[in-house]
Amino acid sequence: MVRYQQADAQATTELIEQLSPQLYRFFAAQLGNADDAQDMLQDASLRIHRVRHTYRPGEPVLPWVYAIARRVRVDNYRKRRRTAMREVVVETLPESAVPASEGTDLPPFHQLIADLPASQREVLTLLKVNGLSLEEVARATSSSVGSVKQKAHRAYERLRGVLQLSRAGKGRAV
Amino acid sequence: MNRRELTHRELDHLIVAQELPPLPADRLKQIESAVIADLRPVRPLASDAVYVGALAGIFIAVCIVSCYLIAGRDGWEALSNLQRPVVFIPLLAIASLLAFSLVRQMRPAAKYVRITALLATAVFLLLTASVALIFQSIPETAFAHDSLVCFRAGMMFAIPTAILFGIVLWRGAALSPALTGATAGGLAGLAGLAVLEIHCPNMNVYHIVVAHLSVVVICALAGFIFSSVTFTRRWSNH
């Protein structure tokens, strides 16, 4: 990251290659749409590039990166909502980012978490899809570790309910 | 079908087992070339202490300059020994909390950003309540006129302070410009309030609430609106 700030092209390329797949997972897991996730990844990468001077050497990189990524997601969501208020026509269905799970009876991750509140969805994605620690998630979301734990716990409780219902429904169908 | 409750570990396993698609290589190349094309060295933000020092320096300088521009310290002298700490200790506490919060807002993923801003708001409400309790209502013949004069004087010091704060904060505040604007506006308003408390001898509780404390609220609101427009555009890619 420090070499990126010093305009080292090699280090920059390595950093982008390391971070982009993780960021893409962060967006794809929540959006469920490959094109949107790629657009948002591009937006986030450019935003990170613009504000790279705000990273202070010695601090953890991932919370800094995800704090920017979640801001990009919120900004895009607001922008899309404004656009959606003006546009109505949808002619083709977008390509799904997450293929239907093979070998499991689970819906795709984004569908699984779709009913969760945005904050719980985000915490769950950061913890389970991106593999961040509680402390890192707390920093990325500007909240406390306790609050992150509580959101994750509540998200799990709701998911458990959804999965029990889904399994019970399938059990009856069989 | 197993109907028992899923454990946390089983849920973890189910979530991790979900596969997400890989990022297309051409998109990755596109991002790399866009970033590399604009690559130049940048200087990281200075330490928190430098920014706190700059904000505190501006705040104190404004109060000192006001003493040269407005003769006397009538307000300070009119306050009783009980009123002085009740007004100035919370005022300094709010200023410190806001400065701390502002410095934290300069960089993404910093700790204690929102809590300090919320704490500052709570102390401001406490200050308003304390003022309402320890100052009394005094009949005034020209309440509106006097209030307007004081409000204008407060804003006269708060606006240049806000501009100076804006210069200090220009390189940061990339994530929540609206919050940063409100915080910086509130801090600039506090500088205006401090000037009024030093110089205004009017001890009427309504005058203090309407003409003095409102400077902080109006400046915070103005900062929120101004930053929402200017800083949001500055950092977004569109």
Residue B40 lies in a domain: no
- For the stretch B165-172, contacts whose Cβ atoms lie closer than 8 Å and that sit 24 or more positions apart, written own/partner, are B165/B55, B165/B58, B165/B102, B168/B51, B168/B54, B168/B55, B168/B58, B169/B51, B169/B102, B169/B106, B171/A53, B171/A54, B171/B45, B171/B106, B172/A54, B172/B45, B172/B105, B172/B106, B172/B107
Say what the pLDDT of residue B236 is. Answer: 63
Say what the pLDDT of residue B1 is. Answer: 42
Could you say which of B43, B106, B175 has the minimum Cβ distance to residue A71? B175
Is B199 in contact with B66 (CB distance < 8 Å)? yes
Q: Which residues in chain B have Cβ-Cβ distances shorter than 8 Å to A29? A: 20
Partner-chain contact A38 B45, CB within 8 Å: no
Q: Kindly state whether A155 is in contact with chain B, defined as any CB-CB distance less than 8 angstroms.
A: no
Q: Which residues in chain B have Cβ-Cβ distances shorter than 8 Å to A101? A: 17-19
Residue B137 lies in a domain: yes
Say what the pLDDT of residue A166 is. Answer: 67
Residue B84 lies in a domain: yes
Read off the pLDDT band of A119 (50, 70, 90): confident
The CATH architecture one would assign to domain A2-173 is Orthogonal Bundle (1.10)
What are the tens digits of pLDDT across the range A38-76?
Answer: 889 999 999 999 999 999 888 899 999 999 999 898 888
Does the structure's ipTM exceed the value 0.95?
Answer: no
Q: Could you give the angle at the alpha carbon of B104 between the alpha carbons of B103 and B107, nearest 5°?
A: 100
Q: Kindly state whether A70 is in contact with chain B, defined as any CB-CB distance less than 8 angstroms.
A: no
Owning domain of residue B229: 48-235
Say what the pLDDT of residue B237 is. Answer: 53
- CB-side exposure of B118: number of CA atoms within 13 Å? 5
Say what the pLDDT of residue B143 is. Answer: 93
Q: How many domains does chain B have?
A: 1
Residue B33 lies in a domain: no
Lowest mean pLDDT among A3-7, B70-74, B86-90, B223-227: B70-74
Q: Kindly state whether A75 is in contact with chain B, defined as any CB-CB distance less than 8 angstroms.
A: yes
Residue B25 lies in a domain: no
Say what the pLDDT of residue A161 is. Answer: 79
Q: Kindly state whether A92 is in contact with chain B, defined as any CB-CB distance less than 8 angstroms.
A: no
User: Alpha carbon of B54 to those of A162, B42, B48, B160: distances in Å?
Assistant: 53, 21, 10, 15
Instruction: Count contacts between A and B (CB, < 8 Å).
Output: 162
Residue B31 lies in a domain: no
Residue B231 lies in a domain: yes
Q: Which residues in chain A have Cβ-Cβ distances shorter than 8 Å to B109? A: 59-60, 63-64, 66-67, 139-140, 142
Say what the pLDDT of residue B2 is. Answer: 46
Read off the pLDDT band of A79 (50, 70, 90): confident
Length of chain B measured in residues: 238
3-state secondary structure A53-97: HHCCCCCCHHHHHHHHHHHHHHHHHHHHHHHHHHCCCCCCCCCEC
- CB-side exposure of B63: number of CA atoms within 13 Å? 20
Residue B227 lies in a domain: yes
Listed residue (B32, B36, B41, B95) closest to B63, CA to CA: B95
Read off the pLDDT band of B74 (50, 70, 90): confident
